[in-house]
A and B are shown apart, each in its own frame.
Chain A
Amino acid sequence: MASCTDDTRTTKLVEPKPGRKLHRKLLFLSGLTLPLPVLAGYSFNFPEPVTPIARETLHIHNEFMLVITVLFVVVFAIMIYSMIRHRKSTGHAAARFTGPTSALQWFWTLIPFAILLFIDFILMGIPAVKAIVNMEDTKTGTDIVLKVTGMQWKWQYEYPEAGVKFISVLATPREQIANAEPKGEHYLLEVDKPVVLPVGKKIRVLLTSLDVIHTWWVPQFGVKRDAVPGFLRETWLLIEKPGIYRGQCAELCGKDHGFMPVVVRAVPEPEYLAWLETQKAEAKAAAGGADRTWSTEELMAKGKEVYDKICVACHQPNGQGLPPTFPALAGSKLVNGPLLGADGKIIPDSHVDRVLNGKAGTAMQAFRNSLSDVEIASIITYERNSFGNRKGDMIQPAQIKALR
């Protein structure tokens, strides 16, 4: 039910066999079925774990569920026995005791607390401490660092050692969300560019955010950590099995909180290294783009591509925005204002200033560090010449490079 690691499995998810569905419903009806992972094939439990942390977490969860189910059944069996035996309608006469009176009674009274003390601090407490110490050990034997930056409403992934970074956004078409088209099997859990990681390597994940708090979560990794603006948080992964793993942002981060998935493609190391090389080459090509002069058509085409990925969630495909929170670009004073000052510098609170530096206290973030010169130049050019805006001017990537 929850695992999306391979296609055969997920196809089943979309069209469950009637028998399995019935089985699931019967299980549901049986009430407290929390601790039955084996029976339910994970439908009622965590998805299949693929990291040491997730395996440990699942183990602790199963053990704990077993313990609390036993507690629940025993305690309420006693209560139900009493409810059946000690009824007025069957003529049971009420006793008058209000507390333990003999040493033996005190003994029986204190037994449950001794058991609970044992469960809390020894049976579950000791494995929990071991697991936490392991979870927090992000530094021993780390092979790769991955930096994850949350922003409204997308993730940026960066490989600091390789100098590669890119933004990953939801790839589910708008029409599917609006119910105008049938939904695909990975509805809301698909991105344009998944993050690629090698299997069998310890990956130290550093997290931060550009605007509000986000939470990076992939259930099969057993890892969930907040991305806090202005601070670095960390966690680690060691993926044991190649596959595609899907998760979501888990902290309410505004309008499109439900629409910023995490998709990780875990591959064998050689494949990862090859992928990283192509990314490096692409990054180099993109950086080189800032040195040549771009035509208006090129900037407009690139601008539309980037706008549809980065800007569209707030400012909408037609540039009308969602006022008052997300202002319209169509007819906007700012967009239709002057491009640069007479001295070639940025005018405060101008179009270029806003895209580069954002606006504090609003969802408009500074794109200075997350987008390339080419992307910023093309977005600005595109916005000034679309949605009914007809400024007719343009800005070159080289100019942006100089302005930084």
Chain B
Amino acid sequence: MSTATTTHPAEHAVADYHGGWLRWITTTNHKDIGTMYMTFALVMFFVGGLMILGVRAELFQPGLQLMKPEFFNQLIGVHALIMIFGALMPAATGFANWMIPLMIGAPDMALPRLNNWGFWLLPPAAFLLTLPFTLALFGIGDGALATGWTFYAPLSVQGGMGVDFAILAVHILGISSIMGSINIIVTIFNMRAPGMTMMKLPLFAWGWLITAFLLIATLPVLAGAVTMLLTDRHFGTHFFDAAGGGDPILFQHLFWFFGHPEVYILLLPVWGLIPHVLSTFSRKPIYGHTAQIYSFIAIGLLSVVVWAHHILTSGLPLPALIYFMFSTMAISLPLAVLFFCWIATMWKGAMSFETPMLFAIGFIVLFGIAGLTGLVLADVAADAQYHHSYFVVAHFHYALFAGGIMGVMTGVYFWLPKWTGHMYSEKLGKLHFWLTVLSFNLTFMPQFFLGLAGMPRRIPDYALQFAEFNAISSIGAFILGFSQLIFAWNIWSCVRGGPKVDGRVWEGAEGLEWELSSPPPHHSWETQPVVK
């Protein structure tokens, strides 16, 4: 189809494709779709962020200042759904689309039309999720989902039509994710360059492979749970109503059977990309490639058998408490393998600290706090104090912001020059890093102490002894939020122009993706490379 593109990478886009906006609607190109995923994720990141700034503004001082509790409850739940399903997951899928074909020596993803459809389901889902806010302004309904992102029955059975909108949005998002996962699995299994055995497959692709299997294994359970919720709400079933023979805790089991693996779904792609970054900037090969692959598999398997540690206060029987405690603690072992390999990759390297490396190191340290506090949370006895408190809020933000979002930022700075052919501003990148890391800790470190002191999560107003830490946390949140504008600006200006980079981009970069020009040709590998 395109023969000239490989020689003129800079002019690649237009010739074979529809011009203008139609190109983006109809594209089946993995790079176009990857770009759309990343753009969507960035927009949703700001939407979700704006919501939580509303929450933090309300929590700046005791008393109700800005909003009613009903609206507060809508903001926290939709913030979580937007950040998880709208920002983190699409960002990871965007990486997969862009990088997996480049890394494994394939011309494109295996199922390009499915790929297009997978992306274009996202905007309607995001629209459904946020539409009830707008409808409420016109007096229709009572706003969005107000149950937190966990949809716990019977609160969600009682809720307004925002719950129905959210259920439908989750269905659509789930279909999109499953299609993306199928595509990634098929691509990795069938389109690797000759000589690239599974054990030589880059870790990023391995991380995504496990993620894809986890998505296919657990999303249908979530879809089932929310469908049962929908029939409980509208068709007179009693899955979650004791009066009709159901059980509210059944919903929690089903939800977390999805919800816990979801954490690893968000993190595995990041764990996959971190070793590439560390190896590049340490100018040294990845340490323990095989060990990391087995750790990914072990974590993937463990992640589906530990779900009830999210509901340890719900009244589980004693043997279940002990089982879920020990199985959860067991995750620390493969995770420790990863930490060991990350640090061993840096050990005796020749390190330099460009923005991606800074973010990767920030990720390791802060995600270390998430992992260690997670180990403590698994302890059933101590969990009785931590559970449903701000300690948990702080813990999972260390996991999902420092682990997830900062991991994504690592990848963006690492690969953006590859994607655009331009270097971003290193100065702004470093400024963004330091502001993010400092304000992140300013926001979430006090929340550990708030939780220990006894502040429950999801409350719009609090007792006076929590005032100081909340004020600090809110200030941190605003700095954190506004710092992200630097990120957006840096990306924007890098896409628009900047110093040209060569194919390798980074001095220490190794892997097939760096053999191509920057930006890579429209069809990545016309002839497959051979891996020795």
A residues adjacent to B (C-beta < 8 A) = 1-2, 4, 13-14, 21, 24, 28, 31-32, 34, 43-47, 53, 56-57, 60-61, 64-65, 68, 71-72, 75-76, 78-79, 82-83, 86-89, 92-99, 109, 112-113, 116-117, 120-121, 124-125, 127-129, 131-133, 135-136, 176-179, 183, 185-189, 211-213, 215, 217, 219, 222-226, 228-231, 233-234, 246-259, 322, 324-325, 361-363
Q: Which of B288, B314, B326, B384 contacts A228 (CB 8 A)?
A: B314
Q: Are A31 and B445 in contact (CB under 8 A)?
A: yes
B65 in the interface (beta carbon within 8 A): yes
Given A2-B453, A183-B464, A324-B141, check contact A224 B349 (CB 8 Å).
Answer: no
Q: A237 to B224, alpha carbons, bound, how many Å?
A: 39
CB nearest neighbor in B for A234: B315
Given A136-B321, A226-B314, check contact A219 B352 (CB 8 Å).
Answer: no
Q: Are A82 and B154 in contact (CB under 8 A)?
A: no
Given A94-B283, A255-B69, check contact A228 B249 (CB 8 Å).
Answer: yes
Chain A residues near B322: list those with CB within 8 A.
129, 132
CB nearest neighbor in A for B459: A258
Q: A2 to B70, alpha carbons, bound, how many Å?
A: 27
Tell me which of B118-126, B185-193, B371-379 binds A. B371-379
Minimum CB–CB distance from A55 to chain B (whole Å) comes to: 11
Chain A residues near B325: list those with CB within 8 A.
125, 128, 132
Q: A179 to B58, alpha carbons, bound, how many Å?
A: 13
Q: Which of B336, B382, B452 contacts A44 (CB 8 A)?
A: B452
Q: A72 to B364, alpha carbons, bound, how many Å?
A: 11
CB nearest neighbor in A for B143: A325
Chain A residues near B465: list those with CB within 8 A.
1-2, 4, 13
Q: Which of A4, A45, A252 contacts B452 (CB 8 A)?
A: A45
Q: A64 to B364, alpha carbons, bound, how many Å?
A: 21
Please name 18 further chain A to chain B contacts, defined as beta carbons within 8 Å, in addition to the given A94-B350, A117-B333, sorted by A numbering: A47-B453, A57-B382, A65-B376, A82-B349, A87-B352, A94-B282, A99-B291, A120-B326, A125-B325, A211-B154, A212-B152, A224-B387, A226-B315, A229-B154, A230-B243, A254-B73, A256-B69, A324-B142
Chain B residues near A248: list those with CB within 8 A.
454, 456, 459
> Interface residues of B, CB < 8 Å — how many?
99
Given A79-B346, A98-B288, check contact A215 B382 (CB 8 Å).
Answer: no
Q: A109 to B65, alpha carbons, bound, how many Å?
A: 55
Q: Which of B148, B248, B291, B380 contacts A252 (CB 8 A)?
A: B148
Q: A74 to B3, alpha carbons, bound, how many Å?
A: 55
Minimum CB–CB distance from A206 to chain B (whole Å) comes to: 11
Chain A residues near B242: list those with CB within 8 A.
228-231
Q: Are A57 and B453 in contact (CB under 8 A)?
A: no
Minimum CB–CB distance from B520 to chain A (whole Å) comes to: 27
Q: Are B157 and A361 in contact (CB under 8 A)?
A: yes
Minimum CB–CB distance from B239 to chain A (whole Å) comes to: 13
B residues adjacent to A (C-beta < 8 A) = 62-65, 68-70, 73, 141-142, 146-148, 152, 154-155, 157-158, 160, 233, 241-243, 247-249, 282-291, 313-315, 318, 321-322, 325-326, 329-330, 332-333, 336-337, 339-340, 343, 346-352, 361, 364-365, 368-369, 372-373, 375-376, 379-382, 384-385, 387-389, 441, 445-446, 448-449, 452-454, 456-465, 468, 472, 508
CB nearest neighbor in B for A231: B242
Q: A125 to B379, alpha carbons, bound, how many Å?
A: 8
Q: Are B158 and A211 in contact (CB under 8 A)?
A: yes
Q: Which of B142, B241, B364, B365 contacts A325 (CB 8 A)?
A: B142
Chain A residues near B141: list those with CB within 8 A.
324
CB nearest neighbor in B for A16: B468
Q: Are B330 and A120 in contact (CB under 8 A)?
A: yes
CB nearest neighbor in A for B453: A2
Q: A72 to B322, alpha carbons, bound, how many Å?
A: 26
Q: Max chain A CB contacts within 10 Å: which of B326, B350, B373, B380? A: B350
Q: Are A212 and B463 in contact (CB under 8 A)?
A: no
Chain A residues near B460: list those with CB within 8 A.
258
Q: A248 to B433, alpha carbons, bound, how many Å?
A: 38
Q: Which of B233, B376, B382 contacts A361 (CB 8 A)?
A: B233
Q: Are A47 and B388 in contact (CB under 8 A)?
A: no
